[in-house]
Amino acid sequence: MLTGCVRNTGSVTDAGSEPDQAYVPEIVGTYEAEDAKLSGNVTSESGRTDYSGTGYATGFQNDGDSCTFSVTIDEEGFYDLNFLTASSDYKENYITVDDESLGTIVTDQKDFNDSVISRVYLTAGSHEVAVSKYWGYIDLDQLIVQTSEPIDPSFYDVSAELVNPNATENTKRLMSYLADNYGTNILSGQYSQDGMNGREFAVIKKETGKTPAVLGLDLIEYSPSRVANGSKSMATQAAIGYWKQGGIVTFCWHWNAPEKYLTGNWYSGFYNDSTNIDLAKIMNGEDPEGYDLLMEDIDAIAQQLLILQDEGVPILWRPLHEASGGWFWWGASGPEAYKQLYILLYDKLTNEYGLNNLIWVWNGQDAEWYPGDEYVDIIGEDIYPGEHVYTSQVNKYLEAADYTSAKKMVVLSENGCVFDPELAKRDGAMWGFWCTWGSEFVAKDVMVYTYSDQYTETDKLKEFYENEIVITQDELPDLTSYPIREELQ
């Protein structure tokens, strides 16, 4: 969560400016919630003692409950929207500006505290800023609008140094290329479990004439509990094929829990509510059998990664993703057990199996879950903002960059809608790449290869793929001979 601290960051369009060493934001407006437009169950109350003005808004309980501020901006530019909110425990709620989604704010303290949406581009004039029920159950005191600090162009000068000093030559070349592009270009990406011949790639090619630079795949079907139920996969072969065609490959792993812990449908065994696995007990030694079973699962996945290494394929490796959400079993026991497992996975794959073709993409989505700079090459965020939402998601981008003081590249490791590259450039949200999830986000019908515009409209997809800062597969260099940056030599 961002908590109102101002950071030395900014936008591509700020290049050439000289940000002050200690930027002091200018407050351009303060708006009381009790004076705003209250809808649904939201009412003005004064039972608390820590509010400003004459009261605060409360009653965010049902869909449609909202508080809408009428905000006046004198000069167009970037502004931070600071909502003072309180709740008995962790809550997230929607923020829109002029009915356009900007994501969510987090409330996790009983007293009124800052919850900030950073770097919102506002034109001069009037705007409707709304807080709407997602989880609900917050008190809202006021909205403070203040100027955003310009981004220093050096913000994008990330290191290509890898956490594994024994990385293969191809892995170093890929990381060098990604770092060289960061802040200037954005790579296109798409999950397609059938690889470059899958329906997702086919419909994107049909509609845009382009092929994504990054192919996303999942090692899910290699999980032993799925293999025991008849699952098969060609994901490893698909990765090899795409690399040989000059593409880039990223892998996640929906880790199906060992059979012993499956309580629901076996094919849903990566979800917390379909298992009874207790990761904390496994990691603290109370469940030694569980530990051994997890090690066997890792062994099975390592065999696939070794095949890829033997074929010279570097992988953007994103294990144990979205942990802080709690919906996957590896995140259900809290951050400490998760971090122990992540570090164990890194150690086993790197030091026991000698897997030197992995670029480690951490995707825990919360600073408390960050395992440490020595285990993370790239930070990934997964964002599903709804249908036809093309905003740059700059607030989440900046939040992800703040997970560490080290300068790590930030990528959109999963998305539903494709964002508008021009908005990303304007806002400074220069994601290293995007990688749209498959199925209904691109092509609903398994049998008919027809593009679905439910999330990204056809004309928008074509526009985004043709944008000059978006890299497609045909624009990639030869990554087997790309120059290795000095810090990796």
Active site residues: 322, 414
Q: Is there a contact between 129 and 73 (Cβ–Cβ < 8 Å)? A: no
Q: Is there a contact between 127 and 73 (Cβ–Cβ < 8 Å)? A: yes
Buried b (16+ CB within 10 A) or exposed e, 61-95: eeeebbbbbebebeeebbbbbbbbbbbeeebbbbb
Q: Which helix (H) or strand (E) holds 145?
A: strand 139-147
Three-state DSSP class for 253?
coil
Pairing label, strands 56-58, 43-45 = antiparallel
Return the axis-axis angle of helices 458-466 and 199-208, rounded to nearest 10°: 80
Q: Is there a contact between 402 and 2 (Cβ–Cβ < 8 Å)? A: yes
Query: Which region, left, alpha or beta, applies to residue 324 given φ > 0 means left and ψ of -120 to 50 means alpha?
Result: alpha
| C-alpha span between 70 and 97 (Å, rounded) | 10
Q: Is there a contact between 188 and 434 (Cβ–Cβ < 8 Å)? A: yes
Question: Which phi and psi (to 5°) does residue 477 adopt?
Answer: -75, 175
The residues that bridge with 121 in the sheet, in sequence order, are 78
Structure tokens at 327: 């919906």
Return the axis-axis angle of helices 235-244 and 288-310, rounded to nearest 10°: 30
Cα within 13 Å of Cα(361), Cβ side: 30
CA distances from 354 to 73, 160, 407 (A): 56, 20, 26
| C-alpha span between 444 and 234 (Å, rounded) | 21
| C-alpha span between 130 and 70 (Å, rounded) | 9
